[in-house]
Chains A and B, each alone.
Chain A
Amino acid sequence: AQRVTQPEKLLSVFKGAPVELKCNYSYSGSPELFWYVQYSRQRLQLLLRHISRESIKGFTADLNKGETSFHLKKPFAQEEDSAMYYCALSGRSKIIFGKGTRLHILP
């Protein structure tokens, strides 16, 4: 079965502290994985995708096939990072989303 699991509904982190948003997946094949971000009252935006191995707004994510994980990381949290984050997997006919993690940056 294709599945994306984000174990944390809410993550609170102090400004300047490191951030790690967890994502685990289940997929038989080579997955295409993404992180999306949704700022308050805005549309979902593609944050990054594993194939491009890029860093956006200081965030990075590494695909670990052994652990079937695609955790999102940032070394120093900023207040503007407060948002809802969704991990997603590109399946055979659709993109499957996790239930999301709300990241709250504390001043």
Chain B
Amino acid sequence: EAQVTQNPRYLITVTGKKLTVTCSQNMNHEYMSWYRQDPGLGLRQIYYSMNVEVTDKGDVPEGYKVSRKEKRNFPLILESPSPNQTSLYFCASSRDPRGPYGYTFGSGTRLTVV
């Protein structure tokens, strides 16, 4: 089944403790992206990757890092999480974001930073 898999689904952590949210897709998509979803703000892009070893900042990259060492994986790293990073995070992939294909989304990771 074609899918984007995120782990974990839920995570509670303390301020300053480094964490990684994993994202993997099995569709051989070149484009992958991370979004955060907050009430009233919709979906905001954090980082995206057009291909292996090619990453770029989205609209809200501060406090986040990503890497793209292989096509299928695109982990999101929070080096020193803070409470304002409490949010619902979605990973997504696409064959081509400029075309008519749209995104396939993961199930989301609900992160709480205390």
Contacts and interface: CB of A to CB of B under 8 A. Distances in A.
B102 to A, nearest CB: 4
Contact of A93 (B40, B90, B98): B98
A93 B106 contact: no
Interface string B41-52: 111010010100
Given A44-B90, A86-B42, A95 B103 contact: yes
B100 A43 contact: no
Interface in B79-98: 90, 92, 94, 97-98
B33 interface: yes
Interface residues of B, number: 25
A42 B110 CA distance: 12
Given A45-B105, A94-B48, A86 B100 contact: no
